Amino acid sequence: MQGIKNYIPADQKTALINAILKVGFDTVDFGSFVSPKAIPQMHDTAEVLNQLDLDNTTSKLLAIVANVRGANDAASFDEISYLGYPFSVSEEFQKRNTNSTIAESLKYVESIQDIAIRHNKELVVYLSMGFGNPYGEPYTPEIAIKWSRVLADMGIKTLALSDTIGVSKPDIIHDLFSSLIPELPEVEFGAHLHTTPDTWHEKVETAWNAGCRRFDGAIKGYGGCPMAKDDLTGNMPTEKLLTFAQEKRASEAINMLAFESAYNQAVQVLG
């Protein structure tokens, strides 16, 4: 929802997320504890959290944070299992996204990891611009691999390689996951892919064949990262991921009737 400019009232956000919580996803990214000036859409995350029905769901909650203050805010809620932090391999995007350098961001990771451990949370780090760089800065897969090793050495157990702007290609997706998954078996690697309608399947299939089993999606591919560039590149559509999961017989935990209801609600709420 963060990339949608029209404000979505908290009660509508809550109703939609409650519908998604009934589907059976492992994790639901439900909100962000970030600057309301930077991302106005997310200013009501605490209000939404207080209205969620968590009694009849197996899904765990993840909240995005961009700094230590946001991490402390999110960690104060027992209902949240995961703190998500966007660490960029691009200096330019790190400044755009969290108003910090890569060196400063690495210190944030260390501090947020400490907060997460003290509050019995797990830190999920998104490796932003992990598949390419649109700003003219140097990029090779080895850069993303290097930073993955650094973060793993800091004790990060979940790393989501993030496309952010939809530039990932099958060869780079394959190189990253096939290199990192065997090398760092203690880390769960995820794919946070942005995509156009005609390239989603080749991206997901390549990551799957390289060993990835954690995938992020958004219904109908809504949204995108508003800090990356003016034109949003859609998120990976959840309904496409579920189609793929059914092909691979990996969708047993999913209640498809509940997903159909959540899908219809998303279309109504998000426009």
Provide, rounded to the nearest whole percent, the portion of the chain with pLDDT above 90.
Answer: 78
Whether the CB-CB separation of 62 and 28 falls below 8 Å is answered with: yes
pLDDT tens readout for residues 35-76: 999 899 999 999 999 999 999 999 999 999 999 999 999 999
pLDDT tens readout for residues 145-201: 999 999 999 999 999 999 977 789 999 999 999 999 999 999 999 999 988 878 899
Mean pLDDT value of segment 65-93: 95
CA distance 237 to 213: 16
**Predicted local distance difference test score (pLDDT) of residue 230:** 42
What are the structural domain ranges in the chain? 10-270
Q: Is the pLDDT of residue 25 over 90?
A: yes
Q: What is the mean pLDDT of the chain?
A: 92
| CATH (residue range 10-270) | 3.20.20.70
What is the reported pTM? 0.93
Quick one: which of 183, 242, 181 has its CA closest to 215?
A: 242
**Predicted local distance difference test score (pLDDT) of residue 196:** 80
Can you list the positions of beta strands (E) in the chain? 27-33, 60-65, 80-88, 122-128, 158-162, 188-192, 214-215
Q: pLDDT band for position 233 (50/70/90)?
A: low
**Predicted local distance difference test score (pLDDT) of residue 95:** 86
